[in-house]
């Protein structure tokens, strides 16, 4: 049976060594990197099943790596950092992290959190048929188009890039997923619970206010108040067209 491969990206050598020792004792296969650049190279060549990622790295932000890993590799991420402010925690989760632990930490807690994340991933895979059906809700409408357009918005799906006119709009991974889901199903009403389920996953511990926050940010970033419509008492939809 193949071992679960966990990549550790941590610039403090002592902490990286401690994590590697503890994870190998638990039967995981590990690799280490002390810079963001080396970590990204290892992700490409080694293809880990999970990522332990430090927020503060010498050459780039862990958030940037988190965003790239979520977009390109779709692997679970546990962020490890000295930052303890709740705003930082929320930001890390919105950029694609699955969980968050602050330094100093107990190695036993790190291992427990890893096991929890991997169990969730395994459970999601066991429910693969249901997940495929849900994903098709968005993908059937988009029909694998490399470019999705609406009004002055253009989504380059292969690059996960969003443009408004001649400007690139920076979206978090979840903001992007919400936008693509709405644009791929223009006119369809999604409840807040459906959006949570489809975008964040059935086991996401948050509540429907998370959806409202992301909708508000999309409207502001894209000037989309007219076409990302609230259906009062139900949820949200993208209008099929704007009245002239």
Q: Are 239 and 186 in contact (CB under 8 A)?
A: yes
Residue 117 lies in a domain: yes
Residue 143 pLDDT: 46
Q: Domain check: are 178 and 91 in the same one?
A: no
Residue 206 pLDDT: 56
Q: Domain check: are 102 and 187 in the same one?
A: no
Q: What is the mean pLDDT of each run of 10 residues along the chain (244 residues)?
A: 87 94 92 95 93 92 86 84 70 78 88 85 58 47 66 87 91 88 88 82 63 90 91 87 60
Q: Domain check: are 107 and 16 in the same one?
A: yes
Q: Which domain holds residue 115?
A: 5-126
Q: Domain check: are 143 and 118 in the same one?
A: no
Q: Domain check: are 161 and 97 in the same one?
A: no
Q: Are 110 and 79 in contact (CB under 8 A)?
A: no
CATH number at residue 95: 3.40.50.2300
Q: Domain check: are 122 and 135 in the same one?
A: no
Q: Domain check: are 23 and 106 in the same one?
A: yes
Q: Domain check: are 109 and 140 in the same one?
A: no
Q: Domain check: are 109 and 78 in the same one?
A: yes
Residue 158 lies in a domain: yes
Q: Domain check: are 139 and 122 in the same one?
A: no
Residue 144 lies in a domain: yes
Domain boundary among 101, 126, 151: 126
Q: What total number of domains does the chain contain?
A: 2
Domain boundary among 98, 126, 154: 126
**Burial 125-145, CB ≥16 within 10 A → b, else e:** eeeeeeeeebeeebbebbeee
Q: What 3-state class would DSSP assign to 169?
A: strand
Residue 88 pLDDT: 66
Q: Domain check: are 135 and 174 in the same one?
A: yes
Residue 175 lies in a domain: yes
Residue 243 lies in a domain: no
Residue 145 lies in a domain: yes
Q: Domain check: are 18 and 100 in the same one?
A: yes
Nearest Cα to Cα of residue 63 among 94, 92, 33: 92
Residue 244 lies in a domain: no
CATH number at residue 141: 1.10.10.10
Residue 68 pLDDT: 84
Domain boundary among 91, 126, 161: 126
Residue 129 pLDDT: 45
- The pTM assigned to this predicted structure is 0.57
Residue 126 pLDDT: 58
Q: How buried is residue 157: exposed, middle or buried, by Cβ count under 10 Å (0-12/13-18/19+)?
A: middle
């Amino acid at each position: 049976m193949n071992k679960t491969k966990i990549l550790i990206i941590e610039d403090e050598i002592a902490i990286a060594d401690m994590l590697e020792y503890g994870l190998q004792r638990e039967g995981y296969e590990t690799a280490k990197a002390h810079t963001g650049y080396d970590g990204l190279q290892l992700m490409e060549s080694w293809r880990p099943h999970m990522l332990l990622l430090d927020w503060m790295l010498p050459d780039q932000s862990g958030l940037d790596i988190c965003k790239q890993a979520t977009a390109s590799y779709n692997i679970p991420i546990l962020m490890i950092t000295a930052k303890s402010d709740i705003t930082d925690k929320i930001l890390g989760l919105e950029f694609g992290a699955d969980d968050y632990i602050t330094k100093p930490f107990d190695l036993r807690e790190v291992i427990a959190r890893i096991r929890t994340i991997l169990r969730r991933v395994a459970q999601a895979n066991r429910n693969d048929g249901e997940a495929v059906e849900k994903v098709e809700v968005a993908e059937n409408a988009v029909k694998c188009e490399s470019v999705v357009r609406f009004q002055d918005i253009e989504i380059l799906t292969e690059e996960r890039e969003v443009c408004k006119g001649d400007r690139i709009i920076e979206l978090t991974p979840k903001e992007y997923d919400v936008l693509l889901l709405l644009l791929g199903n223009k006119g369809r009403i999604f409840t807040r619970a459906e959006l949570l389920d489809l975008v964040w996953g059935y086991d996401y511990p948050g509540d429907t206010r998370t959806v409202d926050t992301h909708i508000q940010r999309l409207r502001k970033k894209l000037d989309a108040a007219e076409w990302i419509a609230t259906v009062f008492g139900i949820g949200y939809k993208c209008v099929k067209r704007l009245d002239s």
